[in-house]
Chains A and B, each alone.
Chain A
């Protein structure tokens, strides 16, 4: 088993790695590429010129070789610039994506490039405090042997140093004085070993080009630095974006999963126990219909009937979408009728009813069908007959002996629903404007927010692989007849 687990673990890493490669390559190499959506505005004036697009490409690093871009996306580029400090570190001309770039000179005439924005705060000497996103001090020759942070002052001991502080969470304050003594708060010195000899992997500097000035602060998706959104929440870290949505998705999906399990298991058991009865016939038909019912239509019809038609007919109607009502509940709605405080948990629950119902219907159909077939299988087993022969009550036989064993395979199927807790339900969330992960993904796709899309797919594929592995492991635990070694 241990050997199997280790093997599976490495396979898993490989699969995820290939998945990232595939996702990255496909999204970047597709005709039109990730910027294909840019020029679709009908208004000629608002269109980007070719020069604009080139600049944008350079800014986003899209003009670099794909292998390099992929590596940077996955592993970051904070370790990349180390061997290429000799390259000029000045912002590309006409750059318009940085907030107020200012160029100063460090001691010794080395060009120093600071990217950041002034804050409203002023220090004790009356100098404006800057919130800095990047500091580059470039020079020629070898890498810095060492550098120190003495107190809060950076001293550049050698000719070349590059520091990346492009982290929104670190509030770094730089004070520009003519002596260029930079006060830095909250910045940890980079240990020397952190520099990786990139040149070994990527060959001469030629391949990297002037890559060194690009970003250089990104730790890479695999190191949990998921970057920032381009479009739907410009500049906002994707992690924050996910955090703000994940709660809603979990609430919806976990509730729906629990409800469908609670309903599907008894339905499956009963229809198996009473096989070929009228009830069984109804259940089988229901599951068949449930599995072919398109969720988007089902959801729309619910909105149509319970929100729109109910409103027309003057019956307290359901909210058509959203998570909570806005300030006041509309008159005539269920929320107003029941005098529910907008924004309260009860309000949320009312909003959850329809999307949860749609989602539960979908998984319920499949799971009860599965449960039924498992139960039929188990009921045929000898140990069930033995239990009956012992004189146990039929109830006990079914619940304690048969159902328990029929539940086992269901566990391994239900595990596969876990990745959905992250990705949400794209269609259902869209119909009910539920601000969850699925809707976030949908919005990101609509707005060509490729960083968000790629991170979403990356996390999702990891979760799918993990869930599959978990399912396989659970299988061996719950069914000792299956052995993988």
Chain B
């Protein structure tokens, strides 16, 4: 803001003076501070760039993909090498690998986002309740968290998905049942981190004056947790969620790769790798690209998470 000499006209009304505005330095909005700090993290910016590309790919899958990922099958052109017609060749059923790769981005990313949104908000809510009420509620929730953390994760995920493999969810197309089931399982095993974060934050806020003030104003306990406590825990939870997105993508692909995850014909990077492995290992493209996609998204999420941690951490002065 330009430093103009302020001429105070004694007849001017107080409201138009805007003394407050003149005396306080202009506040940068929270978002722009975060963005300014985030931009300094080169690798995080790279990660963000990759993610934007993948998200665009997922959003415009219909435009980008030349063929339908499921219904297009060319029985006379199976396991084809990459060509102009099929950029990355065709798979063992004669489906276009590139189109499946593009659509898989849509499924993997949206599943990861939904799972993380659900598990982080569930975890945050439970953590908020746990920290706010204390006592036996706290013990119960924290012991459950510790308990879930002791369970061996991958074996449990596999056991669950193996058990629920054949389940058809009523009202959902058979093909998509496994997507919902895997999403649910990953959510069940994914909320503990944000629960601990939220609890820690709420514990430190519980004794502060504004909580008492809110209570004195007649706000309900849940209202205080959701409106006043959790927003304060938002920064670490956002970081946790971003790092979690990479984790969910890897877990989902690992499950699908082992054959216990999302079942074909729904394309995911994991089950594309699996079918590439089962078929001849001859064509490197079919193994390379789905794996590269998994790897890039997970590295990207990790770097973005790292960048966000730096950007959101109020203790770091950049």
Interface flags, B134-156, vs A, CB<8A=1, else 0:
00000000000011001110111
Could you tell me if B166 and A32 are in contact, using CB atoms closer than 8 angstroms? yes
B-side contacts of A423, CB under 8 Å? 152, 155
Q: Which of A19, A37, A442 contacts B147 (CB 8 A)?
A: A19
The answer to whether A26 touches B160, judged by C-beta atoms less than 8 angstroms apart, is yes
**Which one, A40, A294, A430, A448, contacts B291 given CB within 8 A?**
A294
Does B268 lie at the interface of the complex (its beta carbon under 8 Å from any beta carbon of A)? Answer: no
Q: How far is the CB of B211 from chain A (nearest CB, A)?
A: 31
Find the A residue at minimum CB distance from B167.
A31
Q: Which of B164, B166, B254, B298 contacts A296, CB < 8 Å?
A: B254
Q: How far is the CB of B140 from chain A (nearest CB, A)?
A: 12
Q: Which of B147, B156, B164, B295 contacts A294 (CB 8 A)?
A: B295
* B163→A292 contact, CB < 8 A: no
In the complex, how many angstroms separate the beta carbon of B306 from the nearest chain A beta carbon?
8
A419 and B287 in contact (CB under 8 A), knowing A32-B167, A292-B302, A442-B158?
A: no
B281 within 8 A of partner (CB): yes
Asked if B273 lies at the interface with its beta carbon under 8 angstroms from chain A, I say yes
Cross-chain contact B154 with A292 (CB below 8 angstroms): no
Asked if B291 and A15 make an inter-chain contact with CB atoms under 8 angstroms apart, the answer reads: no
Interface string of B294-315 (1 = CB under 8 A from A): 1100110111001000000000
11 A-B contacts, Cβ less than 8 Å apart? A18-B147, A30-B163, A37-B166, A292-B246, A294-B253, A296-B273, A304-B284, A304-B288, A427-B258, A442-B158, A445-B158
User: Are A296 and B152 also in contact (CB < 8 A) when A303-B281, A309-B284 are?
Assistant: no
Q: Which of A15, A36, A298 contacts B163 (CB 8 A)?
A: A36
Q: Nearest Cβ in chain B — how far from A242, in angstroms? A: 14
Instruction: Fill in one digit per residue for A270-307: 1 if any B CB lies within 8 Å of its CB, else 0.
Output: 00000000000000010011011111111011011000
Residues of A with C-beta under 8 A to B165: 36-37
Count class of interface residues, chain A: 35 or more
B258 touching A442, Cβ below 8 Å: yes
- How many chain B residues touch A (CB < 8 A): the figure is 46
Q: Are A300 and B291 in contact (CB under 8 A)?
A: yes
Task: Name the contact of B299 in the complex, choosing from A37, A292, A300, A308 (C-beta under 8 A).
Answer: A292
Could you tell me the distance in whole angstroms from the C-beta of B304 to the nearest C-beta in chain A?
12
Given A23-B159, A300-B276, A304-B288, 9 other A-B residues pairs in contact with their CB atoms under 8 A: A30-B160, A291-B302, A294-B295, A308-B282, A426-B258, A427-B257, A441-B155, A446-B259, A461-B152
Q: Which among A76-84, A131-139, A151-159, A452-460 touches the partner chain?
A: A452-460
For residue B132, CB closer than 8 A to chain A, the reply is no
The reply to whether B298 and A294 form a contact with Cβ atoms under 8 Å apart is yes
For the complex, give the distance between the alpha carbons of A34 and B164 in Å.
Answer: 10
| Cα distance A285–B303 in the bound complex, in angstroms | 10
Chain B, 166-186, contact with A by CB distance < 8 Å: what is the 0/1 string? 110000000000000000000
Question: Is B164 a contact of A30 with CB atoms below 8 Å?
Answer: yes
A465 beta carbon closer than 8 Å to chain B = yes
Q: Does A254 sit within 8 A of B, measured CB to CB?
A: no
A448 to B160, CA, bound (A): 12
Q: Please, what's the 1-or-0 string for A11-26, where 1 marks a CB less than 8 Å from any CB in chain B? A: 0000100110011001
Is B298 a contact of A300 with CB atoms below 8 Å?
Answer: no
Contact B159 A288, beta carbon cutoff 8 Å: no
In angstroms, Cα B163 to Cα A30, docked, is 7
Instruction: Output the least CB separation between A299 and chain B (Å).
Output: 10
B302: chain A residues within 8 A (beta carbon): 288, 291-292
- Check if B204 is an interface residue, CB within 8 A of chain A: no
- Chain B residue numbers with a CB within 8 Å of A292 are 246, 250, 295, 298-299, 301-302
Contact with B along A139-171 (1 / 0, CB 8 A): 000000000000000000000000000000000
Chain B positions within 8 Å of A446 at CB level: 162, 259
Interfacial chain B residues near A309, Cβ < 8 Å: 284
CB-CB under 8 A from A36, the residues of chain B are 163, 165-167
A445 contacts which chain B residues (CB < 8 A)?
Answer: 158-159, 162, 260
Query: Does A27 reach chain B (CB closer than 8 Å)?
Result: yes
From B152, B295, B302, name the one whose CB has the most chain A CB atoms within 10 angstroms: B152
